[in-house]
């Protein structure tokens, strides 16, 4: 693939704005303020015309009321820059630009996929062309979601796996690799909440929250990561929370698990970057789901409290998290790893209540 250097973009800009006309491969500048003309370093005379310039007969006459006095400058010749000279041969890239960002032929696993944010992520990835393995626990299987999306012609398959069980997690990864030949994306979305005074929080509840929210992502990343590292490519996206960056009363277990997830993300990202695997955390604020409904009851707050505290003045929507994940999974995000991406309506930026 060949791209042209910055000079080409500069001259295309001036042509499109009607500030210059192309005549036999030369630019004739119309009189305009100095700030609207290219600097002297773009005006050096070189003999070879720029390939993109059209004959004068094909150019539309620019509409301009400025003075007709003009100067003529030779257009610098632009040597083509080969992408192969700046990108590692071992790391192929697709620079095709489509919207929405295409995930065609990608193989993705999403945990905690039955409802809420997880279901929205599955739907968004499938709509953008991915084949999605929607994984969930036996107490909340993904059957209804899978049936709905398959009826729309989307490629979604359901699987049962407990993310806290190493054997089930390994089987999920291995069976997906065996069936599809690779795994391109893992979304660690499975999570549970806990709202309780810290002084009475039981060890059992603490342990369960950390097992699902922190140990689960580690086990899944290890199992799927083995296949990604062997292939030399892949992306892991952990669904964290704003409570991975801050705290709130009665969220000791939940906040600890999400802070830990940020640390896990950063370690895996820097450890696996040289082997082609990216790892990122997405941090939603309050999103309207059944989990929030339960938290309102346990935490003694209302929807109006959250709306009033959020600078954008509303809850987040599950599909907004799905769209963020889809971007991070795409080639457009190929230089993003080890990062935490808040999707919070300005929550973290605002320090008050």
Q: Encode pLDDT of 275-302 as tens digits.
A: 999 999 999 999 988 777 778 888 788 9
- Residues identified as active-site: 254
pTM of the model: 0.73
Task: Look up tokens 């499109």; give the residue.
Answer: 16
- State the average pLDDT over residues 121-128: 98
**Ramachandran class of 175: left when φ > 0, alpha when ψ lies in -120 to 50, beta otherwise:** alpha
Is residue 256 within 8 A of residue 210, CB to CB? The reply is yes
Q: Where are the beta strands (DSSP E) in 214-255?
A: 234-239
Residue 215: pLDDT over 90: yes
Nearest-angstrom CA–CA distance, 110 and 113: 6
Nearest-angstrom CA–CA distance, 146 and 122: 9
Adjacency order of strands within the sheet including 26-30: 20-23, 26-30, 70-74
Three-state DSSP class for 4? coil
Percent of the chain with pLDDT over 70: 71
Q: What domains lie within the chain, and their CATH numbers?
A: 2-84 (no CATH), 107-343 (3.40.50.720)
**Which phi and psi (to 5°) does residue 6 adopt?**
-65, -25
Span of 33-37, 121-125, 160-164 with lowest mean pLDDT: 33-37
Q: Encode pLDDT of 183-214 as tens digits.
A: 999 999 999 999 999 999 999 999 999 999 99
Q: What is the pLDDT of residue 100?
A: 52
Q: What is the pLDDT of residue 72?
A: 43
β-bridge pairing 70-74 and 340-343: unpaired
Helix, strand, coil % over all residues of the chain, rounded to 5? 40, 15, 40
Residue 32: pLDDT over 50: no
Q: Encode pLDDT of 266-275 as tens digits.
A: 999 999 999 9
**Ramachandran class of 24: left when φ > 0, alpha when ψ lies in -120 to 50, beta otherwise:** left
């Amino acid at each position: 693939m060949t791209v042209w250097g910055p000079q080409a973009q500069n001259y295309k800009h001036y042509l499109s704005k009607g500030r210059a006309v192309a005549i036999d491969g030369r630019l004739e500048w119309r009189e305009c303020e100095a700030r609207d003309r290219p600097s002297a370093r773009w005006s050096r005379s070189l003999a070879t015309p720029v390939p993109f310039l059209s004959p004068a007969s094909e150019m539309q006459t620019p509409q301009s009321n400025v003075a007709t006095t003009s100067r003529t400058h030779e257009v610098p010749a632009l040597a083509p820059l080969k992408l192969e000279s700046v990108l590692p041969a071992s790391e192929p890239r697709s620079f095709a630009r489509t919207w929405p960002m295409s995930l065609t032929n990608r193989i993705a696993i999403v945990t905690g996929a039955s409802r809420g944010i997880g279901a929205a992520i599955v739907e968004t990835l499938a709509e953008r062309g991915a084949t999605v393995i929607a994984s969930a626990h036996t107490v909340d299987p993904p059957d209804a979601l899978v049936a709905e999306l398959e009826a729309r012609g989307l490629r979604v398959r359901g699987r049962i796996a407990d993310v806290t069980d190493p054997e089930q997690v390994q089987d999920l990864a291995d069976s997906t690799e065996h069936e599809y030949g690779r795994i391109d994306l893992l979304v660690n979305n499975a999570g549970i909440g806990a709202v309780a005074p810290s002084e009475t929080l039981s060890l059992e509840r603490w342990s369960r929250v950390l097992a699902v929210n922190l140990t689960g992502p580690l086990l899944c990343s290890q199992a799927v990561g083995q296949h990604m590292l062997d292939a030399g490519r892949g992306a892991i996206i952990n669904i964290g929370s704003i409570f991975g960056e801050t705290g709130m009363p009665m969220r000791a277990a939940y906040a600890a698990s999400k802070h830990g997830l940020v640390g896990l993300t950063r370690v895996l990202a820097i450890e696996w970057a040289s082997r082609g695997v990216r790892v990122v955390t997405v941090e939603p604020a309050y999103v309207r789901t059944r989990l929030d409904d339960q938290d309102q009851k346990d935490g003694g707050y209302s929807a109006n409290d959250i709306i009033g505290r959020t600078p954008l003045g509303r809850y987040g929507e599950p599909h907004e998290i799905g769209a963020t994940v889809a971007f991070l999974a795409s080639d457009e995000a190929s230089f993003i790893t080890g990062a935490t991406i808040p999707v919070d309506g300005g929550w973290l930026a605002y320090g008050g209540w």
